[in-house]
Amino acid sequence: MKQLLGIKVEKLAMGGFGIAFHDKKAIFIPYSAPGDMVDVIVTHDRKDHSFARVNRFISRGDSFVQPDCSAFGGENPCGGCDWLMLSYDEQVKQKYELVKSLFLPFIDSEKVYPTISSPQPVHYRNKVFMPVGEGKGKRSLQYGIFARWSHQIVPHTACKNHPPVFDALAKRIIELCIAAKVSPYNELQHSGNLRHLGFRISADGSEILVVLVTLSGKLPFSGLLVKHISQEFPSVKGIIQNINREKGNVILGADTRILYGRDHIFDRLGNTSFRISYRSFWQINIGTMELIMNSIRKHIKPKATVLDAFCGIGAIGLSLANEVKSLILLEELPEAISDAKENAALNGIENVSFVCGKFEELLPELLQKQHPDVIIVDPPRSGLAKDSLETIMFAGIKQVIYLSCSPMTLARDLKVLCSNQSYELDSLQSFDMFPNTWHIECLAILHRR
């Protein structure tokens, strides 16, 4: 394989790569940072750019800190972190630089604000699913996180991103599984049984769900597991067996068995309470989500009629319900709409209506009949379809609030909304929802010209 010796990493790119240049070609290098001098091995060579992996660090840049994780870096690094070798202040600075490089070509620099740090830079994840596989010893099991771009499990004992109690639970469950001779899932042969361990926790740590994803409905040790886990971890409010008999990358299957307690926890976003099932979408970093909600509140007028599209279980919309005239929640998944209705009842919210169906199909009729003043969208990573953007523009909604986990698709969609002087951007605020990774959450506020 081709080697490049003594090249310098100049900056960071979306995707978590460091970028060096050689013979006028950009070289994308994971787990590297500005100022690093490296020898690399080219793994994929293209006409105008290449991808490479570090063979040797000659020296490290000024922002380097020693990663406090045995699973980070090395020959087979864990895929959970991109930037654990950077100080946290540097991570936030680099995210702002990435946002600026993407948006400043078409947005006034005064409207692109510095990235807001996470209140909790470590142990912030309130949900995780970890794959289970065969360990090195006889009848041994291991759990961890997949290596980047692979399904090879990188075992670990302590993750910097999720709460330590998740690791303690996982270790104990694996011990019980080994004692009960539970077989790990083999992805290639589609055999074995235990596929994933999953955990979800409330912000105050008082409620935890445990999820065991299995290939088969049979789980003969479940009584023993329930006894030990419920006694040793009093915060566990539910232990669920999810059965996934299908091949493929989708973690959860269609069948659910409650082995202990309940299949949901209760959590809060601001002053609003939420019932959250083990399947529900709930922002992974609730501290940062609180900051996002505070920013949204500053821009919504009290007498507004608000359409919360892609509402899920109602996290954003219901948190605003007591501050607006009326609220419409739109969601494709019937289960999520059912949860949203329960959450509205839980909080005594009555100025809300619910619509179940696909955003793209129902949006034109909703805008025509309901005439909302504000539309809030928090779409999947793929963003909004062009037809939906044009529908919003044609309807003349006064305000668009766009929350995005993909700066690239947000940039694409903002160019459409701001075309022909339809909308003007008031502000673009980035938030660090995912410390130690390159991922960035962005909030765009637009008003109709």
Sign, CA torsion 186/187/189/190: positive
Question: CA–CA separation, 91 vs 85, rounded Å?
Answer: 9
- Starting at the edge strand found earlier in the chain, the sheet holding 141-146 runs 153-155, 141-146, 127-134, 194-201, 208-214, 236-243, 255-261
Task: Return phi, psi of residue 229, to 5°.
Answer: -65, -40
Tell the burial category of 368 from Cβ atoms under 10 Å away from its Cβ (0-12, 13-18, 19+).
Answer: exposed
Name residue 94's amino acid.
Q
Question: CA–CA separation, 144 vs 197, rounded Å?
Answer: 9
SS3 state at 293? helix
Answer yes or no: are the C-beta atoms of 415 and 105 closer than 8 Å.
Answer: no
Residue burial 198-209, b: 16+ Cβ < 10 Å; e: rest: bbbbbbeeebbb
Task: Return phi, psi of residue 398, to 5°.
Answer: -65, -35
Q: Are strands 236-243 and 441-448 parallel, antiparallel or unpaired?
A: unpaired
Is 159 designated active site?
no
Question: CA–CA separation, 283 vs 291, rounded Å?
Answer: 12
CA angle 185, 187, 188 (to 5 degrees): 130
Task: Return phi, psi of residue 212, to 5°.
Answer: -110, 115
Answer yes or no: are the C-beta atoms of 186 and 134 closer than 8 Å.
Answer: yes
Determine the angle formed by the axes of helices 164-179 and 222-232, rounding to 10 degrees: 150
Question: CA–CA separation, 36 vs 57, rounded Å?
Answer: 7
Element (H, E) at 174: helix 164-179
Selecting among 81, 159, 311, 405, the annotated active-site residue is 405
Query: What are the catalytic residues?
Result: 405
